[in-house]
Amino acid sequence: MLSQNSIVSPLLGIFNDSFPPVMDGVSVATKNYAYWLQKKTGHACVITPRCPESTDNESYPIYRYSSFPIPFRKPYRYGIPYVDRGFINRMYQLPFKLVHAHCPFSSGTVAMKIAQRQGILIVATFHSKYRSDFERIIPNKFVVDLIIKNIMKFYEMADEVWIPQAEVEETIREYGFKGHVEVVDNGSDLYVDETKPVLRQQARRDLGISQDENVFIFVGQHIWEKNTAFLIKTLENLGDFPFKMFFIGTGYAAKEMKMMVNNRHLSDKVTFVGQVVDRQLLTQYYAASDLFLFPSMYDNAPLVVREAAALQTPSLLLKNSTSSGIIRDGFNGYLSYDLPEYFATSIKNIVRRKKRMQEVGYIASRTIVRPWNDIIDEVIDRYSNIISRKNHLCIKFNANSISCLFNHG
């Protein structure tokens, strides 16, 4: 296993195009990879685009490169690393043990170039449904197909490709990837031992929410791809059913979502909280909620479903969504058909059986969630195994080539 003793100076590089203060599931996953790898090995670093709001006071080094805002996708940045010669020269001089790309774009290209120049291994995790992103902004199918083909070339060049949930394999195969994939779960940094009633009571007291209210929550980018319009229509279909709904996050559709809520006379029931960077505050919102509503067909393996489960808050998802692969309906979560009226009916039926809803939330916390501490132990083992395989190949084909060898712990 890789350990603090075995990694003397070479770095484990974690690459992604988003990183806090830009918040999304992959950004949070990237941060946890870096934090736990640093804690367990002492030699992790992050490579990501520069962000004006960043403070970067983490326990591991963060190397940022030039970028500019992506139009209509605030707060995301388009990285342009190769105009930043100082950054590139620094990257080529740093000794890396292994690089792990969580994105195939600007940060991924840097990771690939480093791997090629230094003769080291690259792991690439396939997180997102990239086709949906490009189809929204590019009306030409031929161009979108070409972009997806180039993205798949990136993954084909990686030494190992990981996916965060078994069901994600269907997406990457649909995109044309033919190589082997490994399932490596994402974890959750929101993890508590208290029972749901205790968590719920304290969180509601802290947030000023009545103990007898039906409270629902959505956490994620405020973009149409996540079916946010569907969710607002669902809330309208609840009619006189009493509830309080929290939308947490930000995105290009936030303003129109608020208008949609106002036009449907839901403003007294719906609160747009905005982006919550404070993880303790986010924990309170999850804990205070009865049900996590996530009707997205866009997401592959949403971290937010695991986060909700960590706080014993069950999720309601859509049948046949990639996200729903970890849910057994009525056991560790709930599934509904893809119509607002059905989704609304499901909400009412679930909430009316409060005791069972709490039981489902508890089971979710035991079947869906793994703490990052455990996940990173598995990650380190996997890193070690692929490095060992590389060693054996190097020794087999060139026993005298010291440059092929990696230090073993």
Cα 344 to Cα 183: distance, rounded to the nearest angstrom:
33
Is omega for the bond preceding 75 within 30 degrees of 0, making it cis?
Answer: yes
The residue to which tokens 């009865």 are assigned: 290
Q: Write down the CATH number for the domain with range 11-187+370-404.
A: 3.40.50.2000
Residue 398 has pLDDT above 80, yes or no: no
Whether the pLDDT of residue 154 is over 90: the answer is yes
Across the strands, what pairs with 335?
317
Q: What are phi and psi of 182, to 5 degrees?
A: -115, 135
Q: Which helix (H) or strand (E) holds 96?
A: strand 96-101
Q: Which of 371, 382, 385 is nearest to 32 (CA)?
A: 371
pLDDT digits (tens, 9 = 90+) for 88-128: 999 999 999 999 999 999 999 999 999 999 999 999 999 99
Most trustworthy range by pLDDT among 27-41, 190-204, 380-394: 27-41
What integer is the mean pLDDT of 277-282?
92
- Beta carbons within 8 Å of 184's beta carbon, 6+ residues apart: 125, 162, 163, 164, 375, 378, 379, 382
pLDDT at 406 over 70: no
* Cβ contact 379:266 at 8 Å: no
Q: What is the mean pLDDT of residues 258-284?
A: 96
Q: Which helix (H) or strand (E) holds 163?
A: strand 160-163
Chain-centroid distance, C-alpha 96: 24
In 235-339 the beta strands, taken as DSSP E runs, fall at 244-248, 270-274, 291-293, 315-318, 334-336
Q: Tell me which range, 276-280, 330-334, 404-408, is most confidently predicted by mean pLDDT.
A: 330-334
Q: How high is the pLDDT of residue 1?
A: 43
Give the domain 196-367 fold: Rossmann fold (3.40.50)
In the numeric block, which tokens belong to residue 281? 């505050």
User: Would you say residue 287 has pLDDT above 60?
Assistant: yes
Angle at 14 between CA 9 and CA 17, to 5 degrees: 145
For residue 399, pLDDT beyond 70: no
Q: Transcribe 194-225 into DSSP letters.
A: S-HHHHHHHHHHHHT--TTS-EEEEES---GG
Percent of the chain with pLDDT over 90: 85
Residue 19, pLDDT score: 96
Q: What is the mean pLDDT of residues 332-355?
A: 97
Say yes or no: do domains 11-187+370-404 and 196-367 share a fold: yes
- For residue 157, the model assigns a pLDDT of 98
What is the C-alpha separation between 247 and 217, in angstroms, rounded? 6
For the chain, give every domain's residue range.
11-187+370-404, 196-367
Residues 221-253 have pLDDT tens digits of 999 999 999 999 999 999 999 999 999 999 999
Cβ neighbours for 144, distance < 8 A, ≥ 6 positions apart: 131, 134, 135, 138
In this model, does residue 62 exceed pLDDT 60? yes
Q: Per-residue pLDDT tens for 133-149?
A: 899 889 999 999 999 99
Q: What is the mean pLDDT of the chain?
A: 92
pTM attached to this predicted model = 0.88
pLDDT at position 5 over 80? no
Question: How many CA atoms are closer than 13 Å to the CA of 40, on its beta-carbon side?
Answer: 20
- How far is Cα 221 from Cα 274, in angstroms, rounded to an integer? 10
- Cβ contact 146:134 at 8 Å: no
